[in-house]
Structure 1
Amino acid sequence: MNAKAQELVRSHLDHLHDEGSALSEEQRLAYRQRIKDLLQQRDAVLVAHYYTDPEIQSLAEETGGCVADSLEMARFGKEHPASTLIVAGVKFMGETAKILSPEKRIFMPTLEATCSLDLGCPEQEFADFCDQHPDRTVVVYANTSAAVKARADWVVTSSIAVELIEHLDRQGEKILWAPDKHLGGYVRDKTGADVLCWDGACIVHEEFKAKGLDDLKAAYPDAAILVHPESPASVVAMADVVGSTSQLIKAACEMDNSTFIVATDKGIFYKMQQLAPQKTFIEAPTAGSGATCRSCAHCPWMAMNGLENMLAVLEADNGLGQEIFVDPSLAERAMVPLNRMLDFGQSLKK
């Protein structure tokens, strides 16, 4: 990640604060019931990412909502009849929901929940980068702002990234990829396409270490290694399966191994353990022995989604200012590459 982007991310991390305190069991149950009642009263549905706290994921499941990766969250929110969406994740997910469903009200437990990939790809710097390479097709990861999406030809998620770049490469197109350099490099290696990468990275996945992973594998030689492609190439090279959150969950369910070492945000363990309760899941190491880390395999911004701030938003008439708005003209431009993503993803299922 370039120095300016690193400083911006560091600044945000330094100012993070705990969104809630520890709740007693009685309080926790009371919060959950009140949230369930208000979701129904407000014609709202809860959409949660796999990386949010298990408490939030289970609540989404119990109320007819959705727990998914960013692509499925986008599809679900667009197609669900509810007039209001509560998006538990990070801000770009709320923006994407608003772009795809402009007629709906979109709220988040906190608008402070952002993403190092989004922060590390500012609108103007990215536009300048694109202008320097006008011959390239611009493909941006979903983990970007609405303004960056609006500058792109395509939006993509990790679940369809390889397939999309293969498709564009067959058409003879050269790619400008942003913002995750590790995912971009992985796609380039898998497809052989001409891919120029923006210098960005996820603070969670960039911390996984090949040496620590090798040591852990020695301790669990029969374990399969599952890796998200936002991880460094040295970690990806050790994987038995590389894939998006949904693809890693699928692999955990379908593979014969009884033990898995997982190199992605540990929020995914909730769904893995739910679907494969007889199997053992181990966190991949994020640093050397005794070292500290910025995320410790869990996104600090995802962790900001809690029962307390979700209830506060639902109880307030104006949502405590946690409503997502996107300029209509910007949304119209961003809709084009987003719809291309959704249509392409749907075509892969045929």
Structure 2
Amino acid sequence: MSSTPQEIQRSRELIRDHWSAPAPELTAQQQQALESEIAELLQQQDAAIVAHYYTAPEIQALAEATGGCVSDSLEMARFGRDHKASTLLVAGVRFMGETAKILSPEKRILMPTLEATCSLDLGCPVGELSVFCDQYPEREVVVYANTSAAVKARADWVVTSSIALDVVRHLKAQGKQLIWAPDRHLGNYIQRETDADMLLWDSECIVHDEFKAKALEDLKKVHPQAAILVHPESPQAVVEMADVVGSTSQLIAAAGRLETDTLIVATDKAIFYKMQQAAPDKLLIEAPTAGNGATCRSCAHCPWMAMNALTNIRDALRDGLPEVLVDEAVRQQAEVSLGRMLAFTKPA
């Protein structure tokens, strides 16, 4: 009911390969020309860029400059559904493109690559999840947004990290027993915070899973004045050291709000682009992934997010490929659980 050790190791090797591979370099003039070409294609194609915080800074900047969206999974979904563009270029990972298609079937959804996946998605095959859920028919199935369209179709609820606590508290108040999938660290955090009756799937984000509490403790000694910001996909020992635990959007908001001038951040380091906007005068430090049992050093960037680039954004808009397609029966079922997520408002 999770990724095998061999699959996890292959995923970690992919991260190491990503960091050891030389990144393609563009001159400032080449990048400017490419950005201008993309902006023109966006106008021609009646398209908007919907980008996640974990994509490269130049992609986030281009999305902002062209009237697109840079946000977390929840607001990406909402923006894509509500925007008037007939084409959405989703810069992120595959489940984000699928979510856009589920919510906006009439729109053409393009991605720079369909190879950009997610270890949480890979670690939660719909067949295995369905067998597990069928053993507990009395339980509501709550799945994280980082899952396939087919898994969302099997679920009663989809949540992002920004609303997961509120949704689970709401369901607990209704007396619901839950199945949670797939992130075990996030599920464990939610269970501790809410005391809800939850059966947890056993998978993890290979980026957040690498953060090390001992190394973080050592770094904190070097910067004793620093506040520690942690995404709840991180291991419990890391979460317990945090001054703020929250989703990407919540961590960015906290960065601007906190009075300290130094922040240690335990999430994908691509978030620094928007976090620095929120806290322009603060020092942002990557939480360490080195330490006891670490398999890589400074791995805090998703290798699949790194597959998004200005060049393949241009190619996707120019060629109309790759396009995200979702089976209509699956789409209709997944739209129900996603619709609950978007309609949810925190109880007073």
Q: What TM-score does the superposition give when structure 1 sets the normalisation length? A: 0.94
Select the residue among 249, 252, 255 that pairs with 1:249.
Answer: 252
Q: Does 1:282 align with 2:285?
A: yes
2:78 is the alignment partner of 1:80 = no
Shift in Å, 1:288 = 1.9
Q: SS of the residue aligned with 1:112?
A: coil
Is the 2:290–2:297 Cα contact (8 Å) retained in structure 1?
no
Within a 5 Å distance, the mapping from 1:224-263 to structure 2 comes to 224-263=227-266
Distance 1:235 1:252 in 2: 18
1:55-90 Cα deviation digits (max 9, x unpaired): 100000000000000000000000000000000000
User: Which residue of structure 2 aligns with residue 220 of structure 1?
Assistant: 223
Question: Is contact 1:9-1:119 (8 Å) kept?
Answer: no
* 1:32 partnered with 2:30: no
> How far apart, in 1, do the equivalents of 2:335 and 2:298 lie?
32
Distance change in 2, residues 1:295/1:281 (3 Å): closer
Query: Residues 79-118 of structure 1 correspond to what in structure 2 (within 5 A)?
Result: 79-118=82-121
- AA aligned to 2:64 is E
Mapping of 1:333-344 within 5 angstroms? 333-344=333-344
Q: 1:196 to 1:278 in 2, by over 3 A?
A: same
Deviation string 1:74-127 (CA, Å, 9 cap, x unpaired) is 000000000000000000000000000000000000100000000010110111
1:248-268 CA-partner distances (Å, limit 9, x unpaired): 000000111110000000010
CA contact (8 A) 1:225 1:239 kept: yes
CA gap of 1:102–1:59, structure 2 versus 1, over 3 A, is: same
The equivalent of 2:144 in structure 1 is 141
Which residues of 2 match residues 314-329 of structure 1 at below 5 A? 314-316=317-319, 318-319=320-321, 322-329=322-329
Any gaps of 5 or more consecutive residues in structure 2?
Answer: none
Distance change >3 Å, CA 20–CA 263, structure 1 → 2: closer
The amino acid across from 1:237 in the alignment is: E
Question: What is the alpha-carbon root mean square deviation over aligned residues?
Answer: 1.9
User: What number of residue pairs does the alignment pair up?
Assistant: 344
Q: Secondary structure at the match of 2:301?
A: coil
Paired residues for 1:306-317 under 5 Å = 306-316=309-319
Q: 1:36 to 1:13 in 2, by over 3 A?
A: farther
Question: Which of 53, 68, 72 lines up with 2:71 in the alignment?
Answer: 68
AA matched with 1:80: H
Q: 1:199 to 1:292 in 2, by over 3 A?
A: closer
What is residue 7 of structure 1 aligned with on the other side?
6
Partner secondary structure for residue 158 of structure 1: coil
CA 326–144 in structure 1, closer or farther in 2 if over 3 Å, else same: same
Is the CA contact (8 Å cut-off) linking 2:118 and 2:304 kept in structure 1?
yes
**Structure 1 stretch 299-308 or stretch 125-134: which is displaced more?**
125-134
Q: 1:295 to 1:133 in 2, by over 3 A?
A: farther
Structure-2 change in CA distance of 1:96 and 1:208 (3 Å)? same
Q: Secondary structure at the match of 2:250?
A: helix
Distance in 1 between the 2:12 and 2:113 partners?
15
Task: Give the distance between the partners of 1:102 and 1:92, measured in 2 at CA.
Answer: 15
Q: Is residue 3–residue 124 contact of structure 2 (8 Å, CA) maintained in 1?
A: no
Distance change >3 Å, CA 92–CA 19, structure 1 → 2: farther
Aligned sequence identity (%) = 64
Work out the CA distance in 2 between the residues paired with 1:232 and 1:164: 22
> Structure 1 residues 13, 324: CA separation in 2 closer, same or farther (over 3 Å shift)?
farther
1: CA distance between counterparts of 2:131 and 2:290? Answer: 35
Shift of residue 2 of structure 1?
4.1
TM-score of the two chains, using structure 2 as the length reference: 0.95
Q: Which amino acid aligns with 1:339?
A: G
Local SS of the residue matching 2:214: helix
The residue type equivalent to 1:90 in the other structure is V
- Within 1, Cα distance between the matches of 2:9 and 2:292? 23
* Displacement of 1:20: 6.7
Alignment-mate amino acid for residue 336 of structure 2: V
- Higher mean C-alpha displacement, 291-300 vs 12-21: 12-21
Gaps of 5+ in 1: none
* Counterparts of 2:292 and 2:29, CA distance in 1: 38
